[in-house]
Structure 1
Amino acid sequence: MAAATCLPLFVLVSVLMAASTSPSSAAETPQELLLDFKASLQDPSGALSAWSSSTPYCNWPHVACAISAAANATVSVSISLQGLGLSGDLAASSLCRVRGLIALSLASNGFNQTIPLELSRCASLASLNLSAGAFWGPLPEQLAMLTSLVSLDLSRNSFEGQVPAGLAALGGLQVLDLGENLLSGVLHPALFGNLTSLHLLDLSRNQFLDSELPRELGRMSSLRWLFLQGSGFSGVIPESFLGLEQLEALDLSMNNLAGVVPPGFGLRLQKLMTLDLSQNGLSGQLPEEIASCSMLRRFEVHDNAFSGELPAGLWSLPDLRVIRAQNNRFTGRLREFPGGQSRLEQVQIDNNSFSGGIPQSIGLVRTMYRFSASLNELNGSLPDNLCDSPAMSIINISRNALSGTIPAFKNCRRLVSLYLAGNGFTGPIPASLGDLQVLTYIDLSSNALTGGIPTELQNLKLALLNVSYNQLSGRVPPSLITELPAVFLQGNPGLCGPGLPKDCDADAPSRRRQGLAVAATVASFLTGVALLAVGAFAVCKRLRGSESSSSSSPWKLVLFHPVRITGEELLAGFHDKNIIGRGAFGRVYLIELQDGQKVAVKRLVNSSGKLTFRVAKNEMEALAKIRHKNIAKVLGFFYSGSDGEVSIIYDHSQSQVGSLQDLICAPKLTICWKDRVRIALGVAQGLAHLHHDHAPQVLHRDLKSSNVLLLGDELEPRVTGFGIDRVVGEMAYQSCMSSDLNYKCYVAPEQSCTKKPTHLMDVYSFGVILLELVTAAQRPASDGESVDVVKWVRRRANVTDGVSQILDPSIASAATQKGMQATLELALRCTSVVPDRRPAMDEVARSLQAISFASVHPQTPMLTKSPGTLEP
């Protein structure tokens, strides 16, 4: 009995002794293996400093352990190192020997390497997340060895090549996210034939894929989320998609799909909440069965060639929040909304052929904040309750055939934008608009409105008030006439005021003037005689002087704002002593007028030949309509008929302290981090206005730090030099830009091989400015020649401790570190070589707003939204 009990004890002691004397065995403990893994990492923030041999590994930060209740009491280990700023060469072999490792997240770091093949030995892994980890290279076939995987997230990296067909071996996989990479080629049908357990499949934003939509996707009966947007898919939507009964979100937008939506689409998709077919080449009529998707929240089919009527039942779906069907060929009447039962928030149906009246029930939809139906054939009058929704912020029903009077809109307390241009509205402008405190944009142009401009509109902080081409009359309120471009008032012969063709005092009868009529006549006669004599002398003198001067076509001065300036003053101001800047398109002069006001004049070089006055005037009028606090105001232009030369006249603030380039190129950039973020935010908001808020869209195309002016002690930024390509023409623009070598680093790499410019080129240029603000532009020479900031930053980012060498050391501190790193990451996204990986300017502005808020309130964490998050 004693021997029987001692034998197990002897064996146990022997094992313990062997473990204590064997180095290889000791190294196999989870604690030591994880410390080996930590040793392979670069951890500049010390996030893993608490990992030590003196503390049980299950108590380490970023490590979680779970002990099963089974008899063997196995330990399951989950490691989450997401967003810790880690880099280095991963010691995956040590990591994979940790028993019970079921979850590993290395997301949002900067490893800058291929996937270590040793990761395929982590046999127990159920979840692997390498998203946004700066990984690159081909996807290794060895990933198919991780047969226990349930979730695989490799999104937002730079993986390239084909998707390995061997991944089909992962039959238990429920999440496969390969979005936002550089994957290419044709998708292998076998891959999807076997992955029948998938709940989420994301192949979005892989622009180099060259594949039709695989029919095998329809076999994934468990699929709930399918994201294929922006990946170059072609062909038609397979009929097999009709059987995806568990589908909740389907995004096929921004592809090259053609043909019609399969008949019956939606009949069995009772769980579908998001449907996005936008920006393709789809055509035909949408199936009525789409209205069977009773849980649908977002319906987006804009920018296609759909025709016919929208499915009748669509408008009455109980959970529908968004309808975006603009830029198609839809016809028919708009259906009535189900009143208080509707949860619609946004309806955009611009640029179609809808007819009939605006639904009378629109004001009963309490959640509606945007109704946009411009460029249609709508008729009738506006419903009195159009703006009764307490959330209504944007109304755009311009360019229709609407008539009648404009309602009082007294309940529109949140109305920001009101666009009613190009209709047949009559009657007065409602004075009640002046009571809507947040109303900022009003366009009532090209109607038949009568009466005066209400003085109550002076109560608003307007960025736009366009009342041109109506039948308005009377005096323009003083504060409005000083702020509005003249083009927003033109086409109303009855309007009068300073700077307008009609003087308000000219028609006012005066008894005193009538009583002195005779005296005035006599005085006028004598004065006329004197003036004739002086005039004759001046004409003779000018004719004699013209004999020795070269003949030229007259200059034409066009002003959009009331400015006391003459063509002679401008010509006299084109002197070298007045030059304050030189660029690809010419010189900038600072000219002081007789009344002490200063204007900045950019004298453009037009190398494409003669530019007609009519073309120049049309383009300049469009630029003069742009109003934003961070956009320089265009006052007018000066035109030479001899060579088509155009000089743009900008407003010059007395508080202007120079350009952003002046500060960056100073011997020492002294502005603090908070001010740098504020400057960047102002520029981003100005560009976002050009790209997204102004209609039509305006591209800058010459954005650089010298075109960002700074005003006052607060260094308020103001963007200038925008839209010059529209004035000089594309040929002249390309010629000037190719010769401007000093600013080549601001130019997006795709510009030389792309026929059509895009807003993403401006985003690239803005990213360069962000890098200048983060680095203070203190870039050393490389091999005897200077390098641009984008190349310099990317080279630094690839070396050990590179980030700390990139950030401006004069302001880099514990308090600013997080904000500077977030801005650096944003700048690198903006300057991505792949255009589709760059964020839009409105997204950039939102990100900078969060960074700016955190710089003022450092105790508040910066909340950022993952690009892969689905909005409901």
Structure 2
Amino acid sequence: MGSAAAATSFPLFLLVSTLIAASTPPSSAAAAQTPQDLLLDFKASLQDPSGALSSWSRSAPYCNWSHVSCTSATAAANATVSVSLALQGLGLSGELSAASLCRVPGLAALSLASNAFNQTVPLDLSRCASLASLNLSSAGFWGPLPEQLAALPALVSLDLSGNSIEGQVPTGLAALGSRLEVLNLGGNRLSGVLHPALLRNLTGLHLLDLSGNQFTESELPPEIGEMSSLRWLFLQGSGFAGAIPESFLGLEQLQVLDLSMNSLTGAVPPRFSVRFQKLMTLDLSQNGLSGPFPEEIGKCLMLQRFEVHDNAFTGELPAGLWSLPDLRVIRAQNNRFTGRLPEFSGGQSRLEQVQLDNNSFSGVIPGSIGLVRTLYRFSASLNGLNGSLPDNVCDSPAMSIVNISRNALSGTIPELRNCKRLVSLCLAGNGLTGPIPASLGDLPVLTYIDLSSNGLTGGVPAELQNLKLALLNVSYNRLSGRVPPSLISELPAVFLQGNPGLCGPGLPNDCDDAPSTKHRGLALAATVASFLTGVALLAVGALAVCRRLHGGEPSPWKLVLFHPVKITGEELLAGFHDRSIIGRGAFGKVYLIELQDGQNIAVKRLVNSGKLKFRAVKNEMKALAKVRHKNIAKMLGFFYSEGEVSIIYDYLQTGSLQDLICGPKFTVGWKDRVRIAMGVAQGLAHLHHDHTPQVLHRDLKASNVLLGDEFEPRIAGFGIDRVVGEMAYQTSMASDLNYKCYMAPEQSCAKNPTHLMDVYSFGVILLELVTGKPAEQPASHDDSVDIVRWVRRRINVADSEILDPSISRAARQGMQAALELALRCTSVMPDQRPAMDEVVRSLQPLCFSVHPQTPLPTEIALEP
């Protein structure tokens, strides 16, 4: 039946074209062409601004060329050679033509991923008769998915993910049959219904990825369940609706099943997972699934991640789930699960996260929770848990987040001296009594404490002053006594209301009964109250995060992520403390936050952002996040509340260019300085010339140039004016004295910003690299704090040392050329400055002179 379906679905024109191609004899000229000739013809159709393919020449065998590899099946002299081209991430563009490429004998693998072709998928790729692997992911392709690719007789892997492919998946691809093992179409714009004939014939697939498309008004095709060889199935975020087909029970080889972020409804089929003995990841989150979850999941002995949050599941979580030997993550929050939490398997468990918020669990918290040595997050707010808080709740050396708020806990808060990695403790809305343990002040990284709405007594421990707290909420308890003054004056968020017995500055009771002092205290209290009001406004977002987890009013905080990052709004907020600050700029402070999985992120917390609407901010952030280039910092997402926006970036360990230049000794060699200059120029050129619409940076400076491995630069902080608005942007710029060294002379009086203002800023950075001096000189340094004026006053003075004397004299010629280019970029007259694409061309000879054997950083290499 499968072969018959394939034959009927194979378009007639494909059969005809294949027969014609097979029967047409090659011309004598084509027959005379060697593989070298054919590859050089293919190269001629490409634009290779970085010279990545410069080694392709007739002077060397093609198997020795860069990005070309050859293998032979046997050692015989006339053995067939298998050729692979790995051209990913080289910044290639142009009108790609594969006519000559497909005539290369033995071409088995072709990767053009992460380039910038900006065209439809070439139809002549269908002539590559020996091609087994074709990877065109994230390469700027658009238009329909060519049915002609079905004519590739040897194709085993097809990856077109991360492009702008649109329309319906053509039925003709069914002709690829059981030999196709990988079909990755994720992250495109596909729509329509998947034809059953297509899926019935692709029975050999090991990986099927249709995620991030919009198969509107389409149910999950039951034919997928017939793909018995599937190991990885990614269908998340593709608009699928309806029930999970029972045929999926036949996918016995599955290792990863991701159906999240769709509109699926109904119950999970009975015996679901009973045959999934190899399943490692199950993600059904963010759907509308209901009913009890099948007990058979407890037999999936290889399961590592169980994510079913944000559905409507009822009944108890399967008992066998908790004892699975390799389970790391349980995320079941925002369902209707009931029952008691079982005892953990102690030292045998490998659990890292347990999130059960907003369900109907009851009973006590398992006493074995502290025996799980790998557990770093336990969150079970908004349930009906009772009894006391176990003494060993965070005996795990990894425990960082405990949130058991809005339950029915009673008794006292135990001493938590072993919680050395605890960052966040949220016990609000219970029936806890007794004092706040003073030992909390000994926990080295505790930054977020919410004990509100309990029955706690005694005072606010002075030991809490030892902590760098982002939030302390002890409101609505029965506390009394003097509040340590530093807790009020230094905290960004402190909530003490609802405790009539507390006294101190700014509180109704000022701790002093003397009439004259009390009179003076009223004035002081009014002043402090005004201060606290301002502090409270800044802290409303912090309180709202915990309120969202406890129930109550919807939180005004919103966390939007464009890339996979394991962080919550609560964790992000907890990271906003002085010890985490790694930079300050016109728009606010930059924080370094280490996530639980070891990843580091940099968060720019914007000030003067006004009353920004979430929808407007999200639209601008999404547009900026689409700017992808190897020299542009990856924007991971943003954190929003009314009046404040924080941008999340990927953190680079080396820090910023400013850190390097202003360090104790700027010892970076000329070769790496040229690499930095070229990378910054290429990233800026991409913003100005390659990205549509054009993006102006408007805040380019050394602190916004982040450095990765081997000093590969990435530009951060671009386009913030579009987020905060022009008025807030101008206000912030006027307050940043450090930025004025990078500001073009016309910027203060021009009506509209231009790309030439960014060119001026780049010129200042180039001067920093050439001279080895920061743009802002110390006030005692000669008579100028502006490096542009410092250089111009010395340029015509004999024996004046401008070029960094620490650089070898062998590099002086290149440094002099860079100095002349920097002076052009910082010309007082804007029309005398070069555009950034011209700057890139001017820097290329300098790169070749110091990197003769190394491919250049690419001008338009998109970030994968």
Separation of aligned partners in 2, 1:300 and 1:320: 11
Kept in 2: contact 1:63–1:77 (CA 8 A): yes
Kept in 2: contact 1:485–1:560 (CA 8 A): no
- SS of 1:461's equivalent in the other structure is coil
CA offset at residue 803 of structure 1?
A: 11
Separation of aligned partners in 1, 2:276 and 2:863: 23
Partner of 2:229: 222
Cα 1:247–1:817, aligned 2, differ >3 Å: closer, same or farther?
closer
Separation of aligned partners in 2, 1:213 and 1:868: 32
Separation of aligned partners in 1, 2:411 and 2:312: 32
Cα 1:331–1:695, aligned 2, differ >3 Å: closer, same or farther?
farther
Does 2:304 match 1:297?
Answer: yes
Cα 1:375–1:711, aligned 2, differ >3 Å: closer, same or farther?
closer
- SS of 2:409's equivalent in the other structure is strand
In structure 1, runs of 5+ residues without a counterpart are 1-20, 508-512, 514-519, 528-556, 567-598, 601-616, 629-682, 697-706, 738-742, 751-758, 775-789, 832-854
Kept in 2: contact 1:745–1:768 (CA 8 A): no
Counterpart amino acid of 1:133?
A
CA offset at residue 267 of structure 1?
A: 0.9
Picking from 155, 158, 163, the partner of 1:152 is 158
Kept in 1: contact 2:706–2:714 (CA 8 A): no
Does 2:275 match 1:388?
Answer: no
| Structure (1 or 2) with the larger CA radius of gyration | 1
Number of equivalenced pairs: 619
CA offset at residue 724 of structure 1?
A: 3.5
- SS of 1:450's equivalent in the other structure is strand
Does 2:383 match 1:376?
Answer: yes
Partner of 1:261: 268
Does 2:315 match 1:308?
Answer: yes
Counterpart amino acid of 1:405?
T
CA offset at residue 684 of structure 1?
A: 12
Partner of 1:58: 63
- SS of 2:115's equivalent in the other structure is coil
TM-score for the superposition, normalised by structure 2: 0.64
Separation of aligned partners in 2, 1:297 and 1:558: 55
Partner of 1:107: 113
Does 2:540 match 1:622?
Answer: yes
CA offset at residue 723 of structure 1?
A: 8.2
What is the correspondence of 1:690-729 to structure 2 with a 5 Å cutoff? 691=569, 693=571, 709-710=587-588, 718-720=605-607, 724=611
For residues 400-423 of structure 1, the C-alpha deviation after alignment (integer angstroms, 9 at most, x for no partner) is 110111111111111111111111
What is the correspondence of 1:628-777 to structure 2 with a 5 Å cutoff? 691=569, 693=571, 709-710=587-588, 718-720=605-607, 724=611, 746=620
Counterpart amino acid of 1:79?
L
Partner of 1:167: 173
Separation of aligned partners in 1, 2:354 and 2:479: 32
Kept in 2: contact 1:265–1:287 (CA 8 A): yes
Picking from 106, 124, 127, the partner of 1:121 is 127
Does 2:155 match 1:139?
Answer: no
Kept in 2: contact 1:767–1:827 (CA 8 A): no
CA offset at residue 868 of structure 1?
A: 13
Counterpart amino acid of 1:246?
Q
For residues 213-267 of structure 1, the C-alpha deviation after alignment (integer angstroms, 9 at most, x for no partner) is 1111111111111000000001100001111111111000000000000011111
For residues 805-843 of structure 1, the C-alpha deviation after alignment (integer angstroms, 9 at most, x for no partner) is 999999899989998985589989x99xxxxxxxxxxxx
Cα 1:315–1:452, aligned 2, differ >3 Å: closer, same or farther?
same
Separation of aligned partners in 2, 1:199 and 1:415: 42
Cα 1:246–1:477, aligned 2, differ >3 Å: closer, same or farther?
same
Task: State the identity %.
Answer: 65
Partner of 1:502: 509
CA offset at residue 499 of structure 1?
A: 1.6
For residues 127-155 of structure 1, the C-alpha deviation after alignment (integer angstroms, 9 at most, x for no partner) is 00011111111000001011211111111
For residues 455-503 of structure 1, the C-alpha deviation after alignment (integer angstroms, 9 at most, x for no partner) is 1111111111111111111111222110236861111111111122211
Separation of aligned partners in 1, 2:372 and 2:606: 40
Counterpart amino acid of 1:76?
S
Partner of 1:320: 327
Counterpart amino acid of 1:60?
W
For residues 494-515 of structure 1, the C-alpha deviation after alignment (integer angstroms, 9 at most, x for no partner) is 11111222112338xxxxx9xx
Kept in 2: contact 1:463–1:627 (CA 8 A): no
Cα 1:355–1:412, aligned 2, differ >3 Å: closer, same or farther?
same
Kept in 1: contact 2:427–2:451 (CA 8 A): yes
Picking from 419, 432, 437, the partner of 1:430 is 437
CA offset at residue 189 of structure 1?
A: 0.8
- SS of 1:307's equivalent in the other structure is strand
Separation of aligned partners in 2, 1:351 and 1:202: 32
Partner of 1:409: 416
Cα 1:708–1:211, aligned 2, differ >3 Å: closer, same or farther?
farther
In structure 2, runs of 5+ residues without a counterpart are 1-26, 547-560, 575-584, 593-601, 625-636, 651-655, 657-682, 724-768, 773-850
Does 2:352 match 1:345?
Answer: yes
Does 2:337 match 1:330?
Answer: yes
Kept in 1: contact 2:493–2:539 (CA 8 A): no
- SS of 2:289's equivalent in the other structure is strand
Cα 1:624–1:153, aligned 2, differ >3 Å: closer, same or farther?
closer
Partner of 1:796: 689
Separation of aligned partners in 2, 1:438 and 1:157: 43
CA offset at residue 78 of structure 1?
A: 0.5
Separation of aligned partners in 1, 2:649 and 2:348: 48
Counterpart amino acid of 1:38?
K
Once superposed, what is the RMSD of the aligned Cα atoms?
A: 4.8
CA offset at residue 562 of structure 1?
A: 4.6
Kept in 1: contact 2:82–2:107 (CA 8 A): yes
Separation of aligned partners in 1, 2:390 and 2:351: 18
Separation of aligned partners in 1, 2:619 and 2:314: 45
Partner of 1:91: 97
Kept in 2: contact 1:285–1:307 (CA 8 A): yes
Counterpart amino acid of 1:388?
D
CA offset at residue 204 of structure 1?
A: 0.5
Separation of aligned partners in 1, 2:711 and 2:545: 30
Counterpart amino acid of 1:373?
A
Separation of aligned partners in 1, 2:149 and 2:504: 75
Does 2:126 match 1:239?
Answer: no
Cα 1:769–1:317, aligned 2, differ >3 Å: closer, same or farther?
closer
- SS of 1:185's equivalent in the other structure is coil
Q: Which has the higher contact order (CA 8 A, sep 6+)?
A: 2
Partner of 2:371: 364
- SS of 2:218's equivalent in the other structure is coil
Partner of 1:641: none
Kept in 2: contact 1:807–1:820 (CA 8 A): no
Does 2:84 match 1:78?
Answer: yes
Cα 1:123–1:824, aligned 2, differ >3 Å: closer, same or farther?
farther
Separation of aligned partners in 1, 2:460 and 2:701: 53
What is the correspondence of 1:266-277 to structure 2 with a 5 Å cutoff? 266-277=273-284
Kept in 1: contact 2:706–2:716 (CA 8 A): no
- SS of 1:104's equivalent in the other structure is strand
TM-score for the superposition, normalised by structure 1: 0.63
